[in-house]
A and B are shown apart, each in its own frame.
Chain A
């Protein structure tokens, strides 16, 4: 097929566009009035349509086309975004994903989408799609803010009161969506000018984003203002359009939100004229907490083969080694000019290094951002209430790890929802809030990135696990007795193991968790479980940072040099031998009020004594692994240096407490300590 050479690009880009759609739709659900988001979705969908039509995938193109129609209607404010509309759009994105997936797997990308197409058509025609989802209620409770969001801008009771009262007095409230030209440079200035025009003609009740954000230019091209006036709105519109660099002004009248009828009695209280006076001025209504600025999505990117990045990285590593060598030479030569040049080069190359490294690093967000969507759906399918909390989505990981980590995480999340979180009834009986919480957390620690999935569900029943493991023949009775808690939990990862009492389609077919474990291990990571029955479980994944250049502290122990990654180091200290205490055959020191065990590398690594050591003081590097700390005793600190992480190769895989090697300025090899292995 002549198109085949483009197929890979097509699939890659389609996936990216669909991912963008998913993310944006979720944003839209939170911010139903933000037309900017709709525009972005539209753009992605449009590109997708064009690409799939070119590639000859008609089904894909026609569904995208239908979706595009709906989006277009939303964009032109013919359709109001609500949960039902979003559900159908989500569903079509799902279908699109499935089609792209089928193409990626060599299929023809065909799929019966008539159902979705019909629904989309109905929305487009302004009808409400026939909802067979009894579970819609679950969603409503999941995202209360997104339900019933008829008006474009959400007002709090106070603002609504003012609007209602003004209406009673013959004023009219308008929502104006003002778009500035894309090339507008002084957005804040334009906003100020627009506000001045508006305030001459009436009172501004609310701005979205808030005025503070507007003043800080913390918005894209457009913003919305609600004003109360008795002037002719077309005249005001004309005046606003006269302000330079205003591209368009869209106006609609504010509808009664109606839902606040319960607060009817309060409406009489605030007297309008006074209220309006106090509200005037630029600092209006900063209380709109829901006005989240939309991140600009239009980053320009190019596609680079990861292999080329690897080559670039390798070349740069060579450069770093030579840089170290040059620095050493210039120090020995003690030539001012040479030293300055070398220093300058060092600075430039470290900037270069940051850029190259960052090119390979991707925030886990790219993996995480599909989870809210998935959890939302899953919770509905399972009739459970689940809040997903994502922490540390900005944590960056090497691209290669990112590519692999998605599936295991999906599995663990499903597992948490299906087996961890109980049904709302059970939760109520156990005195827990009905909605379960799943926390997905990513963070750096030492040389590793940790990703934790924590649920506040039922936890793991050890006896159940043991019984199941026995039944499935994974362990026998003798083995069972000596198992530690951790070992019991690890049984869950054995192949052919399933603890769920009933089998659902979400998880619990007994395939998967073993795959999760093997995938993570193949990435050089590990997975552990911590659980408290009745309270919940934490699945913790530890992944190596496959950074190839790291900052490290070089230390000397007798005649051997070792590098300790700076990321593990808290600080260095000189400790008097007299201050060392002994507990349970372990030497400890008091470090800032904490008891820190001392590790003598000389003994651990059986380093030969080639010169006598200082009797009175110890040089200690305080390192940490998560919360735990240890003091590594060395002979001297050489200094901090950027080092290139090199593998010891397959032949020397799994050397205790050594994570790799590096080449120093003098051409010698120094080993890199793995502090995580040293701290138990």
Chain B
């Protein structure tokens, strides 16, 4: 997938537990605070339910739960990243999201074989900027895998 990334790309950086993740800005529609979430019974554990986003019903995925990181209580900093891919809109719950950065395309490296353990599937690439390590998530895989379960 690295081939497709050119020159400069904009990333939105968010935190999950103690790691920094990133998602391409063109996949993000908006970032929202957590409002009332309506639980949808009979769905995967990481699907927290649906919210009303200005008249549109959007399903919400808890990324911690999706990446099998122990879940946390939502705080003031908790954000919902509204992302869209292939006409599917979802909200991703993250611990916080407060940074947009520009990085050169060649700062991205394919994900190493072993980085954490569980997360590897959803990693598109990693970027190292100075001392920060950003994990670029693969939204398509984050969404797709759920259909099997």
Binding site for B on A (CB under 8 A): 317-318, 321, 560, 604-607, 646-652, 655-658, 661, 663, 667-671
Cβ–Cβ contact A670 & B40, under 8 A: no
Cβ–Cβ contact B52 & A652, under 8 A: no
Given contacts A668-B36, A669-B51, contact A661 B42 (CB under 8 A): no
Rounded to whole angstroms, the CA-CA distance of A652 and B42 in the bound complex is: 10
Given contacts A318-B55, A661-B57, contact A671 B88 (CB under 8 A): no
Interface band, chain B: 20 to 34
Of all chain B residues, which has the CB nearest A661?
A: B57
Option from A321, A647, A651, A661 in Cβ contact (under 8 Å) with B90: A651
Of all chain B residues, which has the CB nearest A666?
A: B36
Rounded to whole angstroms, the CA-CA distance of A671 and B41 in the bound complex is: 10
Docked complex: B49-92 residues within 8 A CB-CB of A:
49-52, 55-59, 87-90
Which 8 pairs of residues, A with B, have the shortest CB-CB distance?
A605-B41, A669-B38, A656-B42, A661-B57, A646-B57, A663-B52, A651-B88, A668-B36
* Residues of chain A contacted by B38 (CB below 8 angstroms): 560, 661, 668-671
Please tell me if B128 contacts chain A, counting CB pairs below 8 Å: no
Can you report 17 residue pairs joining A to B where beta carbons are below 8 Å apart? A605-B41, A649-B58, A649-B59, A650-B88, A651-B89, A651-B146, A652-B43, A655-B40, A656-B42, A657-B41, A658-B40, A658-B41, A658-B42, A661-B57, A663-B55, A663-B57, A669-B50
A136 to chain B, nearest CB (A): 56
Please tell me if B127 contacts chain A, counting CB pairs below 8 Å: no
Rounded to whole angstroms, the CA-CA distance of A651 and B147 in the bound complex is: 8
Rounded to whole angstroms, the CA-CA distance of A474 and B40 in the bound complex is: 38
B26 to chain A, nearest CB (A): 19
Of all chain B residues, which has the CB nearest A647?
A: B57
Please tell me if B33 contacts chain A, counting CB pairs below 8 Å: no
Binding site for A on B (CB under 8 A): 35-36, 38-43, 47, 49-52, 55-59, 87-90, 143, 146
Rounded to whole angstroms, the CA-CA distance of A667 and B50 in the bound complex is: 12
Cβ–Cβ contact B52 & A648, under 8 A: no
A272 to chain B, nearest CB (A): 78
B59 to chain A, nearest CB (A): 5
Cβ–Cβ contact B90 & A648, under 8 A: no
Cβ–Cβ contact A650 & B55, under 8 A: no
* Residues of chain A contacted by B35 (CB below 8 angstroms): 667
* Residues of chain A contacted by B39 (CB below 8 angstroms): 560
* Residues of chain A contacted by B59 (CB below 8 angstroms): 648-649, 651-652
Cβ–Cβ contact B57 & A649, under 8 A: yes
Rounded to whole angstroms, the CA-CA distance of A511 and B31 in the bound complex is: 50
Given contacts A667-B52, A669-B51, A669-B57, contact A652 B40 (CB under 8 A): yes
Given contacts A650-B88, A652-B47, A669-B50, contact A321 B55 (CB under 8 A): yes
Given contacts A605-B41, A648-B40, A669-B38, contact A661 B50 (CB under 8 A): yes
Of all chain A residues, which has the CB nearest B51?
A: A669
Query: In the complex, given contacts A649-B58, A655-B41, what are 5 additional A-B residue pairs having Cβ atoms less than 8 angstroms apart?
Result: A605-B41, A607-B41, A648-B57, A652-B40, A652-B47
A53 to chain B, nearest CB (A): 45
* Residues of chain A contacted by B87 (CB below 8 angstroms): 650
Of all chain A residues, which has the CB nearest B58?
A: A649
Option from A606, A647, A668 in Cβ contact (under 8 Å) with B52: A668
Cβ–Cβ contact A655 & B42, under 8 A: yes
* Residues of chain A contacted by B50 (CB below 8 angstroms): 648, 652, 661, 669, 671
* Residues of chain A contacted by B42 (CB below 8 angstroms): 605, 655-658
B54 to chain A, nearest CB (A): 9
* Residues of chain B contacted by A651 (CB below 8 angstroms): 59, 88-90, 143, 146
